Structure 1
Amino acid sequence: MMRRRTTLLTGCTALALALGATACGGGPVSAGGGDKALDGQTVTVAGVWSGSEQKNFQKVLDAFTEKTGARTQFVSTGDNVSTVVGSKIEGGNAPDVVMVPQVGVLQQFAKKGWLTPLSQTARRTVDADYAPVWKKYGSVDGTLYGLYFKAAHKSTVWYSPEALTAAGVRPPKTYDELLKAGRTVSDSGLAAFAVAGQDGWTLTDWFENVYLSQAGPGKYDALAAHTLKWTDPSVVKALTTLGKLFEDKQLVAGGPNEALNTDFPGSVEKVFGPKPRAGMVYEGDFVAGVAHDQYGKAIGKDADFFPFPAVGGGSAPVVSGGDAAVVLKDAKNAKAGMKLLEYLATPEAAAVWAKAGGFLSPNRKLGLDRYGDDVTRATAKSLTGAGNSVRFDMSDQAPAAFGGTKGTGEWKLLQDFLRDPSDPRGTAAKLESAAAKAYRD
């Protein structure tokens, strides 16, 4: 999640609550068949998750205990994983396993010498069951340290079927069709989009989808690594494209000022709450959890999604985020921690959380029937079916000072751009200045 994207959210649980102890398409999900080889040992796990996410992950840890005999202890770090884990290492109290929500943080940990490379068993599973892109994002300088357990599909546009039907609009296939459909929705009495501009990370996600589709994966990778400058014409072009939506008061609920005072949960409420203000909201698959759990929407009936449309003749983008499990080198029980990672790499482990809802796995061996509803199955199929065309959230790959800090860097500059999108070239120059400083430091 994933970092700030999902720590507040529950997942798409439309059918999971009704499933009880039985998984969709099979019997009870259980670790089962273990030899209790780790009986008496304790594995400590640190991660950003809280609330229902933490409870669902605990079900996975409990299944590991049932299989191996090892006890587990989960510690929620909040969003600032790097600082919390660093202080625990310095204090001689390092956890065994950390669920890392950012590629940049994983790289930081590896370069500080904090991480243990994945075992041969875990590496074999990743090679066999995951698209190579997940190995790439879990590796630093050719060494695989991170096992991606939970993923998010961040190229989904969520909508009210009632609102689109009333406007006579069908899910669009291109960005231009998206804007046209939005204006038609607006003519019917609702704004097209609820935009969560108060949370700068949502704006980075808007930009990343436009940029990946319009500029292509090669330039996306270069920009993410900052080997391509933000002043490149491709960036200016993407900002110009995004600006067409931001500047159109017919499209954004309440215009830029209201958008800048709307956080992510508030944007979902404007579409799926008791008093709808808009027909659509862009964000990841985790929108479904809020729509269902907060507003009782039946996923696939009262709330549905379409893929983020292709931009400028490019391919439809597939942007993802995710949480990678790593084992700390200074951990007191690193060997048992690595056994946990080997378990997390299996479809057996993924099935536990898939049954509970609010979860997507990058593991291609997890059967789609393990997910609780058709919409989640569709998002999972889109994610795993994209193979190497998936690209990890760009801001999560950047140093936190640029891509992950409230009130500074990319978050702040894209909020300024939402407020006034009239100067894409000037915004690109400011982004480059902030990026250059962050990557240099």
Structure 2
Amino acid sequence: MMRRRTTLLASCTALALALGATACGGGPVAAGGGGKSLSGQTITVAGVWSGSEQKNFQKVLDAFTEKTGAKTQFVSTGDNVSTVVGSKIEGGNAPDVVMVPQVGVLQQFAKKGWLKPLSKTTEQSVDTNYASVWKKYGSVDDTFYGLYFKAAHKSTVWYSPDALAQAGVKPPTTYDAMLKAGHTVSDSGLAAFSVAGQDGWTLTDWFENIYLSQAGPEKYDALAAHKLKWTDPTVVKALTTLGKLFKDKQLIAGGQKEALNTDFPGSVEKVFGPKPEAGMVYEGDFVAGVAKDQFGKKIGQDANFFPFPAVDGGKAPVVSGGDAAVVLKEGKNQKAAMTFLEYLATPEASAVWAEAGGFLSPNKKLDLASYGDDITRETAKSLIAAGDSVRFDMSDQAPAAFGGTKGAGEWKVLQDFLRDPSDPKGTAAELENAAAKAYQG
């Protein structure tokens, strides 16, 4: 979702070569409609992207035009993609393709009967080039509707190398070691963590990483589907673990009160801005975009990350999100739209945006050399290496009333928990009450 989108602009070297290679390359698209066979057709693509993300996606659209002759038009929907797309369908002006930013929205579109199943060519590309988890999240009732083109890695803890070096701390590999390292950083004069408590979604991400590592993927899946109640002991345990951080005023910049008044960009500023207040900030790969674009930090030198560490002997978590391309039944150019998705499933398409920056691909066949810097390459490598252990952001899978509404549901309950983390069991009960209402609705 847009609330989580901040682009990492990397170098754009060899982009012209990449476009040339895409334009004359082979692969599924050539079979499905290469050689300018789509000349005269226009594909309308809707999505939440704006700014640099829209600019870089346009390079992918331009490469497709060069390859097939089809013209493209991008329509930015803003955050509420489901409402905008629904209105366009009702008005007889449906886009051909929608880039869907949430699993829950994809499922909603499918259940409303808005989507066409994707072509066998696209499905074969995904079966060959993606971990099966990506097809799972793109499918509803065993029908494949959504091709995940752009991914986010949300299990990265970003830090100031200078701050950790001055404290004599190395990147930790366990949650307890991370808190211990945080105390060492704090003793050296900076708070350990900057926490963006004003944005409730960052708190859900903290919880999800802890829960996935501590409780395991099966419990995570069950909780995401509300087949497991939020009052389950595993939830209470994860909240207790998160509470170790929240209640320790030495670890959080400004304490809980200031954290609740800090939004996501502000949390990055507290680590990488002109007046650092903390040594570390947890959030996804998009932290790098803020550090680089707003504060002039060189990624890999002035800003780096370590993987979110393992909790209580579990595996280190890999929580992800992403944008899936779907084809609408009401679109006017369905054949060309299907060809476009066949193109998006190729590593050639991913390479165009990878070289432009601010992009991660779940496509295993994309050459890591396509990425513009070593840190992005490491992030992408970690995402690919996780394979089927990747789990999608839990709150993005939930009904918006629970997992995606400011001042309500999970966001509000976890903000209250940040304010007072003394009663994990009571917080779990509040989460269950909110979830029960939302999932019934």
Measured against the shorter chain, the TM-score band is over 0.9
Q: Which moved more, 1:131-140 or 1:331-340?
A: 331-340
* Residue matched to 2:101: 101
Partners in 1 of 2:66 and 2:20 — Cα distance? Answer: 14
- Shift >4 Å, 4+ stretches: 26-29
Shift of 1:89: 0.8
Match of 1:10 among 7, 10, 13: 7
1:180 maps to 180
Structure 1 residues 156-208: Cα deviation after superposition (integer angstroms, max 9, x where no partner): 00000000000000000100000000111111111111111111111110000
Which position in structure 1 is the counterpart of 2:363?
363
Give the match for residue 30 of structure 2. none
| 8 Å Cα contact 1:12/1:376 also seen in 2 | no
Distance between the aligned counterparts of 1:381 and 1:69, measured in 2?
Answer: 33
Aligned position for 2:194: 194
Aligned counterpart, 1:32: 24
How far apart, in 2, do the equivalents of 1:377 and 1:21 lie?
A: 17
1:402 and 2:394 matched: no
Which residue is 2:317 aligned to? 317
What's the CA shift for 1:233? 0.3
- Amino acid in structure 2 at the alignment position of 1:225: A
Q: Deviations over 1:335-394 (max 9, x none)?
A: 111111111110000000000111000000001111111111111010011100000100
Match of 2:31 in 1: none
Query: Which amino acid is 2:23 matched to?
Result: A
2:24 and 2:237 map into 1 onto residues whose CA distance is: 53
Query: Quick one: structure 1 residues 145 and 71, their matched pair in 2 at CA, closer, same or farther if it must change by over 3 Å?
Result: same
Distance apart, 1:404 and its partner CA: 0.8
Instruction: Note if 1:328 corresponds to 2:328.
Output: yes
CA distance in 2: counterparts of 1:307 and 1:231, whole angstroms: 28
Which residue of structure 2 lines up, in the alignment, with residue 415 of structure 1? 415
Output the TM-score relative to the length of structure 2: 0.96
How far the C-alpha of 1:412 sits from its partner, in A, is 1.0
Distance 1:110 1:264 in 2: 32
Q: Kindly report which structure 2 residues correspond to 1:145-164, keeping only aligned pairs within 5 A, or say none.
A: 145-164=145-164
- What amino acid does structure 2 have at the position aligned with 1:143? T
Q: Give the 3-state SS of the residue equivalent to 1:75 in structure 2.
A: strand
Query: Using the alignment, how far apart are the partners of 2:370 and 2:237 within structure 1?
Result: 41
Aligned to 2:209: 209
Counterparts of 1:116 and 1:3, CA distance in 2: 25
- What's the RMSD between the two structures over aligned residues? 1.2
Amino acid of the residue matched to residue 265 of structure 2?
Answer: P
**Contact 2:14–2:355 (8 Å) recurs in 1:** no
Deviations 1:188-240 (A, max 9, x none): 11111111111111111000000000000010000001000000000000000
Q: By how many angstroms is 1:28 displaced?
A: 5.9
Q: Distance in 2 between matches of 1:325 and 1:355?
A: 20
Q: Residues 311-339 of structure 1: CA distance to partner in whole angstroms, max 9, x if unpaired?
A: 01101000000000000011111211111
Q: Secondary structure in 2 aligned to 1:431?
A: helix
Question: TM-score normalised to the size of structure 1?
Answer: 0.96
* CA distance in 1 between partners of 2:358 and 2:66 (Å): 23
SS at 2:85's partner residue?
helix
Q: Percent identity?
A: 81
| AA of the residue aligned to 2:37 | A
Secondary structure at the counterpart of residue 162 of structure 1: helix
Structure 2: any 5+ residue segments left out of the alignment? 26-33
CA contact (8 A) 1:31 1:349 kept: no
Q: Counterpart in 1 of 2:258?
A: 258
Contact 1:38 1:69 in 2 (8 A): yes
CA contact (8 A) 1:156 1:285 kept: yes
Q: 3-state SS of the aligned residue for 2:24?
A: coil
Q: How does 1:336-347 map to 2 (within 5 A)?
A: 336-347=336-347
Tell whether the 8 Å contact from 1:246 to 1:252 is kept in structure 2 after alignment: yes
Q: Determine if contact 1:207/1:239 at 8 Å carries over to the other structure.
A: yes
The one-letter amino acid of 1:48's match is V
Aligned equivalents of 1:29 and 1:431: distance in 2?
51
* CA positional deviation for 1:32: 2.9
Contact 2:19–2:63 (CA under 8 A) maintained in structure 1 = no
Contact 1:31 1:348 in 2 (8 A): no
Distance in 1, matches of 2:241 and 2:355, equals 39
Cα displacement (A) at 1:4: 2.3
SS at match of 1:31: helix
Name the counterpart of 1:269.
269
**Could you tell me how far 1:27 is from its partner in structure 2?**
9.1
Which residue in 2 is equivalent to 1:348? Answer: 348
Q: Secondary structure at the match of 2:40?
A: coil
Whether contact under 8 Å (2:15, 2:356) holds in the other structure is no
Which whole-Å CA distance do the structure 1 matches of 2:302 and 2:86 have between them? Answer: 44
Whole-angstrom CA distance in 2 between matches of 1:423 and 1:199: 21
Shift of 1:31: 2.9
